[in-house]
Chains A and B, each alone.
Chain A
């Protein structure tokens, strides 16, 4: 159902088209009282029309903005359409934000209407109502607990819809006038304002236009061959660009069915019942699922464990090749088919992945093992790279060209380039028109020739030409010989080895790259036990010669893989040391979310960093530590520093240029 998208340049127009051509096909499902309820496209049109007329009667006008706050509920999605049909701009707000956080967005977007999911959200708005005076009307979906709120300016969705229905009954022309109102909508109108999560300062309102959204969605609908037969589970936050793109925009363009879970806690179960045909989740979700599988398998009987292990091994050998359409020996195919019947099929069914044609992950680096695990089971998991400013997609992996360490080539219609300082810049059909009421930021983010700066540093993979994201641009530096230095990229590579728990890489403005490591006490402890090594503490184990040997192997592996990469071959690790204590958030060395604070560590262990670069092989250090109860102590120790021999770069720079 992609044809016809071109002539409909707004989402309400697409709704009219879907209601005409796909009238009796399901548009929305929601599980209520334990049963899946379905709305067809024509029923959705009825609901949206009545609700929109109700809103109009209440005074919502072209150019107003309406905040939408709540979980994924059909009526909240209909609010998007109803508002857009009147020319108003929907502004979804993160539903788990506390009231004070909401104030900024509500004020900045000049919100006059609020659509709230339930009592919790209405209460939040009411507590800050004196700070946001512009709010005129609050509408709520779930009536529970709101019985006594029902006065002038707080009304239920049903009440507003009934106002619209009464209007339709009373006035024969009301429906036509609504259609005329939709007709007035232009592709260049703002479709939605999405506020960025604001990890770097105040959040910014990204303005996306109708025609750009629809064009971008049409491109990816073609790219992934999406049609009206797909089913998706809408569980991503409404305020996140991913939901507006993957579920709302693609759903409107392709005309497929969007299913809303019963509650945020039932997503896993609803997934199994619905069996979506495409799925998106951040790497963390895939990781949790795998851990759950592994824990359950540990608890299973010996035979089942054997069966699982045997066929997972088969999948590791042949699964990905089969998925990628590569030649696989007949015996391998037969084993895989048996595995599909005995293990992979039931497992995918359990996870709700049985019908998945493709799944995407994005947001952070996904471990290659994790990525390959799902792909080997036959789940077509792919990576994409995107931004709110791009209306999500910048790159995506096409079927058959999947590599764990790249995010794929630019999607059709998108242009990418890498600036001199290594920053990825793009130009895309769906890209934003500017930050709402923030010309300065808009000017800072756009280049003169109309590209958007992502703030991420990346390189193109030498063999495939796919984009590889290496770090946030501001963390990326240069080694003295001019080589690009991306600390997080190196640290992530090191951390994929089970023996290494934390890594801190230095190299910006220095002669070479050097790292400080923490060993993983569980994994290395296990190794020590198997090798009859006796130790009393982390410090003792970390200083053991044998431990240095195994860590040296891991570091060497990292160097070998860096040597393969044109731009990064020069940032191979020349020297490393294993810290005498574990990095700890109590000492301020990690953030509370367990990210290393590179700058702080450099100050605190200044002498060690110096030793990394002055050629010495031993260093005596004493460090103050904070115990959990706040008492301070001191750890003294001698740290060994190991020299590594870098591998020769595989691609000579001159050859590539």
Chain B
């Protein structure tokens, strides 16, 4: 991992850069003058105490929130703020802190819904179904089956998502995000509420997505063991400000981070 981290920090190009972003809701300052960048093919973790502005940061990146100040540069294009549909079409996908799936739909259909943006045939052809729409459907289905295989969720293919255990729902949500073939994947607390075995599985999937598919990943997570093991780089937020940015080793020894978040030195 360290060899890879060096390579990334050294030469890799930046996929997204955040410059001097500030976001406030009325009098509440959620993010203050934060700048950082995400490099291609890295796993970046954003950590910090509750209310530090981590989820707000992800929401800024994929356009849910519009910052009052600052610029976002994504794949070389500079703009003041993102729009969710633009983010989605340009290859940013995400999962949510509280699973946001269609509970009544099967695993298969939920992941298929992640392909919606890739479907080219219009309503007319889709209504007729036979012909070009069917061909397209088959192609997408094959792609989705590969994701199902990748995430090892064959056994729940036809089960409505609402009936599944929480850990599996999280996995399905990751599947739906992957269906969009993202370049940048944002994961909001992918391990929350999981037991240690489920966490281990999820960590393996996150690493595999990063290694096999080459997807850049930014994640928020509270489990320090997971964060230290998975990430190439860590950014620490506290009261909306960035207090550290570096490799797991640098962060775990940073006095300010220990003070604000870790409490004790984390080995």
Contacts and interface: CB of A to CB of B under 8 A. Distances in A.
A34 B145 contact: yes
Contacts of B204: 145
Contact of B154 (A144, A147, A148, A263): A263
Contact of A266 (B155, B207, B211): B155
Interface residues of A, number: 14
Contacts of B149: 32-33
B154 A145 contact: no
Contact of A265 (B155, B208, B211): B155
Tell me what chain B mostly uses at the interface: helix, strand, loop, or mixed: helix
B142 A33 contact: yes
A266 B156 CA distance: 8
Contacts of B142: 33
Interface residues of B, number: 16
Tell me what chain A mostly uses at the interface: helix, strand, loop, or mixed: mixed
A269 B156 CA distance: 10
Contacts of A263: 152, 154-155
A37 to B, nearest CB: 12
A565 interface: no
B212 A147 contact: yes
B148 interface: yes
A266 B150 contact: no
A102 B211 CA distance: 28
Contacts of A262: 154-155
Interface in A19-62: 31-35
B146 interface: yes
Interface in B116-141: 141
B199 interface: no
Contact of B157 (A32, A34, A145, A147): A34
Contacts of B150: 144
A230 to B, nearest CB: 25
A575 to B, nearest CB: 48
Interface in A169-188: none
A263 B152 CA distance: 8
Interface string B144-187: 01101110101101000000000000000000000000000000
Contacts of A34: 141, 145, 148, 154, 157
Given A263-B154, A265-B155, A266-B155, A145 B145 contact: no
B179 to A, nearest CB: 14
A144 B155 contact: no
Contacts of B145: 33-35
Contacts of A265: 154-155
Interface string A262-283: 1101100100000000000000
A269 B155 CA distance: 8
Contacts of B211: 145, 147-148
Interface string B193-211: 0000000000010011001
A33 B212 contact: no
Interface string A553-583: 0000000000000000000000000000000
Contacts of A35: 145
A265 B153 CA distance: 9
A148 B204 CA distance: 15
Interface in A132-168: 144-145, 147-148
A34 B108 CA distance: 11
Interface in A245-277: 262-263, 265-266, 269
Contact of A144 (B141, B148, B157, B208): B208
Contacts of A32: 149
Given A32-B149, A33-B142, A34-B148, A145 B208 contact: yes
A596 B141 CA distance: 52
A33 B146 contact: yes
Contacts of A33: 142, 145-146, 148-149
Count chain A CB atoms within 10 A of each CB in B146, B149, B154 and give the residue with the most. Answer: B154
A148 B146 CA distance: 20
A144 B208 CA distance: 8
Contacts of B157: 34
A144 B146 contact: no
B207 to A, nearest CB: 8
A61 B243 CA distance: 61
A187 B157 CA distance: 46
Nearest to A32: B149
Contacts of A269: 155
Count chain B CB atoms within 10 A of each CB in A31, A33, A144, A263 and give the residue with the most. Answer: A33
Nearest to A35: B145
A145 B152 contact: no
A31 B145 CA distance: 11
Contacts of B212: 144-145, 147
A54 B34 CA distance: 57
Interface of B: 141-142, 145-146, 148-150, 152, 154-155, 157, 204, 207-208, 211-212
Given A145-B211, A263-B152, A265-B154, 20 more contacts: A31-B154, A33-B142, A33-B145, A33-B148, A33-B149, A34-B141, A34-B145, A34-B154, A35-B145, A144-B150, A144-B212, A145-B207, A145-B208, A147-B212, A262-B154, A262-B155, A263-B154, A263-B155, A266-B155, A269-B155
Q: Which 6 A-B pairs have the closest CB atoms?
A: A265-B155, A33-B145, A266-B155, A262-B154, A34-B145, A263-B154
22 contacts: A31-B154, A33-B145, A34-B141, A34-B145, A34-B154, A34-B157, A35-B145, A144-B150, A144-B208, A145-B204, A145-B211, A145-B212, A147-B211, A147-B212, A262-B154, A263-B152, A263-B154, A265-B154, A265-B155, A266-B154, A266-B155, A269-B155
Interface of A: 31-35, 144-145, 147-148, 262-263, 265-266, 269
